[in-house]
Chain A
Amino acid sequence: MNKLFALYGSSSGRLSRRGWWFGILWLAIAYTILTLVPLIAFGGSMWSSLETLAEPNGGAALGSLLGSLYWGYLALQAIFGYPLYCLCAKRRHDRGRSGLDVFLYLLPQGGITLLLAWGLGYVPVEIGPGVTFPVTTNWLASILPLQQLFLLYLVIVLGFLQGSPRANAFGAVPSDRIATITAPTS
C-alpha cells in the first residue's frame, strides 16, 4: 500500500524509466477496465442512435449522446489525473526538471474534455436530404494536432530519455528496479 502511494499518490522523488513504463502499464489496465463502465452504460443507445441518423434531427441525437460519453470520460480523467501526474512528475524529476510540462499537458486536456462534454466539439451538419451528422468544429480540429505533438514530446522525455547520472535536487539516482522511488535529501 505504501509503495502504491509512493508511486501514484506523491509527486516527490525520482523514478526510473522502467518504473515509469510499468506504472503506466498498471494505470492503463485500470483505465481500460473503468472505461467499460460508460461504454456499457451508453454504448447500447449509441448504436440505436446510429440507426436513427437517417431520421430528421438524428445527428443531433448522436451529438448529445457523444456529450454523455464525454462526461464519463471527464470523470475518468478526474480519477486518473492526479495519479498520472504524480507518476510523470517523478520521472521529470529524474531528469532534474519540474513536473510543470506534465501539468501543462493534463490541465488543458481536462478543459478540452469539458468543452466536448458540453457539446461544443461537434455540430450537426446536413450531409444529405434530411440527414445530419455530427461534424468536428473548427476549434477542436485546430487544437488536436497541437495536443498530439505535446503528447509525443512528453512520451519521448518521460519514457525514453535518461535521468541525471548523479543525485540531483529531487533525490539520489533511482535503481532500475520497478517502482523504486528515491526521496529528496533533506
Chain B
Amino acid sequence: MNALVSLYLTRNGRLSRLDWWVAILGLIGVSVIVKLALSVIGIGVAPMAPVLDPLHPEVMLAQLRDGSIGGGVTLLLLAYPGYCVSLKRQHDRDKSGLMVLVLLAAGLAALGVNAFGPPAMVIGEEFNAFVMPSLWSIATSTAFGLYACYVIAMLGAKAGTEGDNRYGPPPPRRDWLAGDQEQGST
C-alpha cells in the first residue's frame, strides 16, 4: 500500500523507465474502471448503449460527445497520479515537469473541443452514413496525439542521468517480474 502511495502520490525523487511503464499500465487499467464507473452514474456513454448503431448515426454522434465528456472527467480524476509518476521520470532525466503539464492541458483541450466544440457531422444516409468530426476536433486531437507520442518516447525510452542530479540519487533498479529472492530457507 505504501509503495502505491509513494509511486502515485508523491512528487519527490526519481523513477526508472521500467517503473514508469508499469505505473502507466496500471493507470490505464484504472482509467477503464473509472470511466465505466462514471458511465454508470450518468457521465459518459451509457454502459448499456450498443457500440454500433448503423441506422442511427445521430446516436453515434451523441456518443462521441458523451464519450469525450467521460474521458475528460476521467483524465481530471487521474491527472494527479499521472502527473506524479511522469514528473518523477522527468526528474530522472534532470528535467522539470513542464512537459507533463503541457501534455495534460493539451489532452483536456482536445477532449473539451470534442465535447463542447463545433458538432460532428453525419455524412450520407443510413448504411452509407459515417460520422465526421469537426475540423477543430481533428486538428486538436491530431496535435495532442503527436505531442503525446513525443512525450511517451521521451519518458518511456530516454535513459535517466548517470549518478546524482538535482533531484536526488538514481532510482533503484526494480525487477518487477523476478521471483521472490528475499525469503531464504528458514
A and B associate in one complex: yes
Q: Contact at A135–B53, with CB atoms within 8 Å?
A: yes
Spell out A's residues near B (CB within 8 Å). Answer: 94-97, 120, 123, 125-128, 135-139, 141-143, 145-146, 149-150, 156-157, 161-169, 185
Q: Contact at A164–B179, with CB atoms within 8 Å?
A: yes
Point out the residues of chain B lying under 8 angstroms from A94, CB to CB. 179
Q: Apart from A135-B51, A137-B49, A165-B179, what are 13 other A-B pairs with CB-CB below 8 Å? A: A95-B179, A96-B181, A125-B50, A125-B54, A125-B55, A135-B50, A135-B52, A137-B47, A138-B45, A142-B32, A143-B32, A145-B32, A164-B181
- Nearest chain A residue, comparing its CB with the CB of B40: A139
Q: Contact at A138–B180, with CB atoms within 8 Å?
A: no
- Nearest chain A residue, comparing its CB with the CB of B45: A138
| Other-chain residue from A149, A156, A168 in contact with B29 (beta carbon distance below 8 A) | A149
By the criterion of a CB under 8 Å from any partner CB, how many residues of chain B are at the interface? 29
Q: In the complex, what distance in Å separates the CA atom of A98 from the CA atom of B72?
A: 36
Spell out B's residues near A (CB within 8 Å). Answer: 25, 29, 32-33, 35-36, 39, 45-56, 127, 177, 179-186
Number of contacts between A and B (CB, 8 Å)?
84
**A134: shortest Cβ distance to chain B, in Å?**
9
Q: Contact at A123–B54, with CB atoms within 8 Å?
A: no
Question: Assuming A95-B179, A164-B183, is B47 touching A139 (CB within 8 A)?
Answer: yes
Q: Contact at A138–B46, with CB atoms within 8 Å?
A: yes
Q: In the complex, what distance in Å separates the CA atom of A168 from the CA atom of B182?
A: 9
Point out the residues of chain A lying under 8 angstroms from B179, CB to CB. 94-96, 161-165
**A132: shortest Cβ distance to chain B, in Å?**
10
Q: Contact at A136–B48, with CB atoms within 8 Å?
A: no
